[in-house]
């Protein structure tokens, strides 16, 4: 290793300090590092910038973001329930927020209230039964059909609150509802069965439903609990009364991680006939055979030595592009003028030594026009490209006139 | 080894038992049957190792004509050889039927003809022949490639041949013309004939007239047995494509027409293809007809990506013809620096020989010159003008040094060069 280092150092050999850094010629690592940075300043600066950008990107990606789970007690957004959680804690309620089913089961004690908001319906029957066994009271927020069925409380889904009812009257004998008064009804679901309160338009189903034994309360609205509308109508009163009645509250929001592991049911494989297993692989074998049939080349490739062929006009076109890019108006004008005069001298029968003035005079004589006018045209210096185009066309016309005479 | 479409069909057919009796035993059984079929067929196939291939060299062909490459296959094995043969001609040889079915019983031989329609001049090659020998079932084959090089020489097309009759007529008209019109240094006395109306009275030979009752005029014939040396530039500038062909190809057309014409005119013709060294050389001195030798020499020429060695050119010409000759340089006027290359070389040659520079002018430049609709067009016109002015300057410079210049568009160059030859011959300047 030392040998390699000293060799490479010998190659670099520009800094005299490096040569004397050690008896074997191997400099101290720090010195070498500084030396490298000095030699590759641009590279080092670039690397530093890239590293900083990378760190920034990773940092922003990894930085803890605000909780955005709906009805989470740590979510301060409109659909969160941080306000409610804070109020309950201020009033001495112990709010537990387990993340997993096991955690919820562990913290549930005698006399606890469980708030269950399973918006994706991830919990299955046995899991819900386990929760029901441990919890004293369960407040279920907008449960889905499978959750309700599994709870087996006699409460059923009964549609949504019509838009005509932005607020709902209690209209029942439940003390919580009576005390709270009106609550927000917009965008809520109604449930039927047990004792129902907040019934829109005198139907049997209501926003709040309690089972016959009073253990299960179904709330058909997240707005009643959410930060956004907690201070409207009697939302806060209803929510606090529902959840603050016991000293212990377990606030459990099931996630996809709580999905029961056992798949259950029959897969497509079980349903397919026996031969289907062999169909695909055998077709692959057929495809492989077809590839071998068509893909085998009939002998090695044969060389075709290609000759060099260049478009001869390419140089002129390249020069034209150079003129265009640099807006070489003067150069273009000189070329066009010289070409015109040469050809005119030829077609007018003047010798190769004819001067511009002689050529112009001869052309004017042939055309029967004033030599001064033609000289003014031929000797003009166009200043803009537009003028150059017009001028060159005028020259072309002049040449045609002379040659047709 | 190679499999055939039949094998693929068999494998596909194998799907039937696999689907009817699904299970691994069926799959293995069907696979085994297929494998056995495959191996049997390969083992029973005639062995391409014991095949002898003889190639008859195809005759020369001019571009875009048909040629036939003939192969003789002898099966020295003890099994019938059945399958296909592929002759590996390079693509530009335009093989019409490179893959052919063969069926050669053991110990016999067969002849195959492969039709070629070459699309490129030069020596086109085939390095090998590939056999695919199928077994009796036609399921699988042994494949073997046998080195069997062959080549086909494709000659330049000589399209300018169509100008030949009219130019030859012009050349013949020189014979017997009245002397006064072509009186010059090199004209030679030919014969005496009776005066007809229209003959110049100055060509009357009074002495002969005195001997006879009728008026007799002398006729002259153009000088003969002069030398024409054509130098074909194969350097990098000859790779430039003008119209449909390279400068080199146009130069060949012009050289062929001039060569044939000059030979009929009784002159000795030599051709040198040169860049930094001599690429080809042909002339009247050899056996056979001149045209054949010229096209043979030109056929394999390709433009080389190197600069022309102008200073070495006079020595090359001297090596071909030490006497005064007509030296025709088939090159270009718009190379990088003609004042360093072409001009001094032409001047040196002109001091001893009569020199003609023949160059192709790009018709595209004329088109560029006329399109002046917008700024881009005008700049293109200016660039084209500059290129033409440069050519004109080089032409004027050459003429000033006593060198004749033929500057023409591709299809015009051969007849114009022929005209120049006839003109020089008529003027006795060869």
Model ipTM value: 0.72
For B349-400, write each residue's pLDDT tens digit. 999 999 999 999 889 988 998 888 889 999 999 999 999 998 888 998 899 9
Cα–Cα distance, A147 to A116 (Å, whole number): 10
Report the run of H or E that residue B380 belongs to, with start and end.
helix B375-400
Using the beta-carbon criterion (under 8 Å), do A312 and B396 form an inter-chain contact? no
- Is some CB atom of chain A closer than 8 A to the CB atom of B362? yes
CA-angle at B49, arms to B45 and B53, nearest 5°: 110
CB B186 within 8 A of CB B282: no
Pick the residue of A273, A276, A287, A289 with the most B CBs within 10 A to test the interface with B by mutation: A289
Helix axis angle for B375-400 and A329-347, nearest 10°, is 50
Q: Which of A100, A110, A224, A205 is nearest to A148 (CA)?
A: A205
Cα–Cα distance, B116 to B93 (Å, whole number): 6
- Is some CB atom of chain A closer than 8 A to the CB atom of B90? yes
Burial tier of A155 (Cβ tally within 10 Å: 0-12, 13-18, 19+): buried
Q: Which of B153, B117, B137, B145 is nearest to B51 (CA)?
A: B145
Using the beta-carbon criterion (under 8 Å), do A299 and B86 form an inter-chain contact? yes
Q: Give B8→chain A minimum CA distance, Å.
A: 5
Q: Is A144 helix (H, G, I), strand (E, B) or coil?
A: coil
From edge to edge, which strands make up the β-sheet containing A94-96? A94-96, A248-252, A113-116, A137-141, A216-219, A208-210, A195-197
For B271-294, write each residue's pLDDT tens digit. 999 999 999 999 887 677 888 899
> Which DSSP category does B113 fall into?
E
Q: What is the mean pLDDT of chain B?
A: 88
Backbone angles phi and psi of B275, in degrees to 5: -130, -80
pLDDT range class, residue B146, cuts 50, 70, 90: very high
CB A293 within 8 A of CB B8: yes
Q: A89 CB contacts (<8 Å, ≥6 apart)?
A: A95
Backbone angles phi and psi of B28, in degrees to 5: -65, -40
Q: What residues 327-346 of chain B have any CB closer than 8 A to a CB of chain A?
A: 334
Q: What confidence score (pLDDT) does residue A264 get? A: 52
Q: Give B385→chain A minimum CA distance, Å.
A: 6
Tell me which residue in A309, A338, A386 faces B239 most closely, judged by beta carbons: A309
**Cα dist. B424→B58, B177, B187, B255, B351 in Å?**
41, 15, 11, 16, 17
- Is some CB atom of chain A closer than 8 A to the CB atom of B383? yes
Using the beta-carbon criterion (under 8 Å), do A304 and B376 form an inter-chain contact? no
From edge to edge, which strands make up the β-sheet containing B240-242? A310-311, B240-242, B245-246
Using the beta-carbon criterion (under 8 Å), do B378 and A336 form an inter-chain contact? yes
Work out whether strand A310-311 and strand B245-246 pair parallel, antiparallel, or are unpaired. unpaired
Q: B191-224 in b/e burial notation, b at 16+ Cβ within 10 A?
A: eeeebeeebeeebebeeebeeeeeebbbbbbbbe
- Is some CB atom of chain A closer than 8 A to the CB atom of B101? no
First to last CA, chain A: 90
pLDDT mean over B228-245: 90
Residues in a beta bridge with B356: B328, B404
Taken in order B283, B286, B287, B293, the sign of the CA dihedral is: negative
Tell me which residue in A286, A300, A311 faces B145 most closely, judged by beta carbons: A300
Pick the residue of B383, B384, B393, B398 with the most A CBs within 10 A to test the interface with A by mutation: B383
Nearest-CA residue of chain B relative to A340?
Answer: B385
Q: Per this entry, what is the length of chain A?
A: 405
Tell me which residue in B241, B380, B392 faces A310 most closely, judged by beta carbons: B241
Contacts of A300 in chain B (CB under 8 A): 88, 128, 130, 145
- Is some CB atom of chain B closer than 8 A to the CB atom of A291? no
Nearest-CA residue of chain B relative to A342?
Answer: B389
Domains defined along chain B, listed by start: 1-155 (2.60.40.10), 186-221 (no CATH), 227-426 (3.40.50.410)
Contacts of A384 in chain B (CB under 8 A): none
Q: What confidence score (pLDDT) does residue A30 get? A: 67
Q: What residues 243-302 of chain B have any CB closer than 8 A to a CB of chain A?
A: 246-247, 302
Contacts of A277 in chain B (CB under 8 A): 22
CB B271 within 8 A of CB B283: yes
Tell me which residue in B241, B369, B375 faces A312 most closely, judged by beta carbons: B241
Alpha-carbon torsion angle B58, B60, B62, B65, nearest 10: -20
Cα–Cα distance, A109 to A92 (Å, whole number): 17
Work out whether strand B61-62 and strand B140-155 pair parallel, antiparallel, or are unpaired. parallel
CB B328 within 8 A of CB B418: no
Q: What confidence score (pLDDT) does residue A80 get? A: 85
Using the beta-carbon criterion (under 8 Å), do B240 and A289 form an inter-chain contact? no
Taken in order A14, A20, A23, A26, the sign of the CA dihedral is: negative
Q: Give B2→chain A minimum CA distance, Å.
A: 6
pLDDT mean over B319-341: 84
pTM summary value: 0.63
Q: B44 CB contacts (<8 Å, ≥6 apart)?
A: B79, B135, B136
Q: What confidence score (pLDDT) does residue A11 get? A: 38
First to last CA, chain B: 68
Q: Is A250 helix (H, G, I), strand (E, B) or coil?
A: strand
Work out whether strand A137-141 and strand A113-116 pair parallel, antiparallel, or are unpaired. parallel
**Cα dist. A121→A141, B120, B212 in Å?**
11, 76, 137
Which two tokens mark A132?
A: 């029901």
Cα–Cα distance, A87 to A285 (Å, whole number): 69
Q: Low-confidence residues of chain A, pLDDT below 50? A: 1-26
Q: What residues 17-36 of chain B have any CB closer than 8 A to a CB of chain A?
A: 18-20, 22-23, 27
Q: Is A231 helix (H, G, I), strand (E, B) or coil?
A: coil
Q: Per this entry, what is the length of chain B?
A: 430
Burial tier of B89 (Cβ tally within 10 Å: 0-12, 13-18, 19+): buried
Q: B132-171 in b/e burial notation, b at 16+ Cβ within 10 A?
A: bbbbebebbbbbbbbebebbbbbbbbbbbeebbeebbebb
Contacts of A285 in chain B (CB under 8 A): 11
Q: Identify which has the larger pLDDT, B417 or A174.
A: B417
Cα–Cα distance, B233 to B272 (Å, whole number): 9
For B111-133, write each residue's pLDDT tens digit. 999 999 998 888 999 999 999 99
Q: B144 CB contacts (<8 Å, ≥6 apart)?
A: B48, B49, B130, B131, B133
């Amino acid at each position: 290793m030392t040998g390699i280092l000293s060799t490479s150092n010998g190659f670099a050999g520009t800094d005299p300090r490096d040569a004397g850094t050690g008896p074997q010629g191997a400099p101290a690592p720090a010195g070498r590092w500084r030396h490298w940075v000095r030699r590759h300043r641009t590279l080092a600066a670039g690397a530093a910038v890239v590293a900083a950008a990378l760190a920034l990107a990773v940092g922003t990606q990894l930085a803890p973001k605000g909780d955005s789970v709906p009805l989470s007690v740590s979510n301060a957004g409109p659909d969160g329930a941080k306000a409610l959680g804070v109020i309950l804690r201020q009033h001495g309620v112990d709010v537990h927020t387990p993340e997993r089913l096991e955690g919820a089961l562990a913290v549930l004690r005698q006399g606890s209230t469980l708030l269950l908001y399973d918006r994706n319906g991830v919990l299955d029957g046995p899991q819900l039964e386990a929760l029901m066994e441990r919890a004293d009271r369960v407040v279920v927020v907008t449960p889905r059909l499978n959750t309700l069925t599994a709870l087996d409380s006699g409460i059923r889904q009964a549609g949504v609150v019509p838009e005509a009812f932005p607020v709902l009257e209690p209209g029942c004998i439940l003390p919580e509802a009576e005390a709270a008064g009106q609550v927000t009804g917009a965008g809520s679901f109604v449930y039927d069965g047990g004792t129902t309160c907040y019934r829109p338009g005198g139907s049997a189903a209501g926003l709040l439903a309690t089972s016959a034994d009073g253990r299960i309360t179904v709330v058909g609205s997240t707005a009643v609990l959410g930060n956004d509308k907690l201070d409207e109508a009697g939302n806060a009163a209803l929510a606090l009364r529902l959840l603050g009645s016991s000293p212990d509250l377990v606030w459990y929001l099931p996630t996809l991680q709580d999905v029961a592991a056992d798949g259950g049911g029959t897969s497509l494989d079980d349903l397919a006939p026996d031969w289907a297993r062999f169909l695909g692989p055998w077709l692959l074998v057929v495809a492989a055979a077809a590839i071998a049939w068509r893909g085998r080349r009939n002998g090695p490739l044969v060389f075709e030595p290609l000759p060099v062929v260049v478009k001869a006009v390419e140089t002129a076109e390249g020069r034209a592009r150079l003129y265009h890019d640099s807006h070489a108006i003067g150069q273009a004008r000189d070329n066009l003028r010289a070409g015109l005069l040469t050809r005119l001298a030829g077609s007018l029968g003047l010798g190769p030594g004819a001067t511009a003035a002689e050529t112009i005079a001869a052309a004017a004589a042939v055309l029967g026009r004033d030599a001064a006018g033609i000289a003014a045209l031929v000797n003009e210096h166009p200043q803009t490209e537009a003028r150059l185009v017009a001028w060159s066309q005028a020259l072309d016309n002049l040449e045609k006139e002379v040659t047709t005479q | 080894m190679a499999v055939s479409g039949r094998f693929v069909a068999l494998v596909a057919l194998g799907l039937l038992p696999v689907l009817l009796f699904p299970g691994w035993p069926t799959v293995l059984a069907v696979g085994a049957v297929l494998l056995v079929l495959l191996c049997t067929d390969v083992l029973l196939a005639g062995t391409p190792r014991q095949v002898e291939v003889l190639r008859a060299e195809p005759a020369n062909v001019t571009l875009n004509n048909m040629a036939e490459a003939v192969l003789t296959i002898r099966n020295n094995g003890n099994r019938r050889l059945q399958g296909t043969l592929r002759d590996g001609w390079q693509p530009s040889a335009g093989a019409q039927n490179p893959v052919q079915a063969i069926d050669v019983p053991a110990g016999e031989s067969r002849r195959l003809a492969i039709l070629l329609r070459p699309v490129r001049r030069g020596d086109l090659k085939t390095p090998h022949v590939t056999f695919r020998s199928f077994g009796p079932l036609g399921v699988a084959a042994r494949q073997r490639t046998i080195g069997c090089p062959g080549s086909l020489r494709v000659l330049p097309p000589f399209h300018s041949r169509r100008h030949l009759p009219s130019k030859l007529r012009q050349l013949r008209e020189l014979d017997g013309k009245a002397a006064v019109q072509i009186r010059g240094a090199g004209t030679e006395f030919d014969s005496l004939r009776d005066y007809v109306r229209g003959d110049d009275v100055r060509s009357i030979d009074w002495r002969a007239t005195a001997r006879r009752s009728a008026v007799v005029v002398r006729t002259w014939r153009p000088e003969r047995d002069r030398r024409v040396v054509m130098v074909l530039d194969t350097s990098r500038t000859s790779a430039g494509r003008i119209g449909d062909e390279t400068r080199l190809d146009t130069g060949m057309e012009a050289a062929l027409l001039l060569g044939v014409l000059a030979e009929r005119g009784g002159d000795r013709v030599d051709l040198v293809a040169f860049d930094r060294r001599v690429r080809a050389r042909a002339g009247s001195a050899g056996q056979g007809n001149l045209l054949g030798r010229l096209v043979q020499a030109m056929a394999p020429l390709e433009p080389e990506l190197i600069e022309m060695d102008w200073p070495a050119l006079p020595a090359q010409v001297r090596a071909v013809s030490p006497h005064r000759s007509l030296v025709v340089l088939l090159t270009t006027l718009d190379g990088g620096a003609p004042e360093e290359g072409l001009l001094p070389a032409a001047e040196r040659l002109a001091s001893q020989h009569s020199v003609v520079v023949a160059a192709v002018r790009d018709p595209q430049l004329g088109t560029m010159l006329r399109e002046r609709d917008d700024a881009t067009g005008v700049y293109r016109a200016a660039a084209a003008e500059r290129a033409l002015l440069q050519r004109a300057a080089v032409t004027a410079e050459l003429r000033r040094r006593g060198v004749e210049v033929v500057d023409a568009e591709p299809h015009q160059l051969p007849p114009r060069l022929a005209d120049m030859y006839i003109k020089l011959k008529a003027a006795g300047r060869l």
